[in-house]
Amino acid sequence: MAHKYRYRCKACGYEAEIYDGFGFMGQHIVTVSCPDCRTLQPLVVGGVIGDAAPSFSTEAGRLCLNCGSALIRRWDGKTCPKCGGEMVKTGDVGFWT
Ligand SMILES: [Zn+2]
Ligand SMILES: [Zn+2]
């Protein structure tokens, strides 16, 4: 079972959904931070999609889904991409597949 969590920035209120665990096709979702459009993006890595398209089996060389930037990097789990403030987990927990 895979969970998703909602994170919110304590400083500016930016919210993002963070995915944890593996989906039904064996994929997992890496959260990346984009310095160009200042958003967090979920990046699907691996699983069946990765077997069919090798470029999807790694997070290397991937582009921001929002603006196409190549500068995305793995989110550190706490820094707001908008303002640099601290993001904390809210009470909302959901499921994804
Ligand atoms: Zn913020
Ligand atoms: Zn971007």
Average pLDDT over residues 5-26: 90
- 61: alpha, beta or left? (left if phi > 0; alpha if psi -120 to 50): left
pLDDT band at 93 (very low <50, low <70, confident <90, very high): confident
pLDDT in tens, 28-72: 888 999 999 999 999 888 776 556 666 666 766 789 989 999 999
Listed residues: CB within 5 A of ion ligand 1? 9, 11-12, 14, 80, 82-83, 85
Tens of pLDDT along 50-61?
566 666 667 667
Q: Which ligand is nearest to the CA of 38?
A: 2
The H-or-E segment that residue 49 falls in is helix 47-52
**From the CA of 68, which ligand is nearest?**
2
Residue 70: nearest ligand to its CA? 2
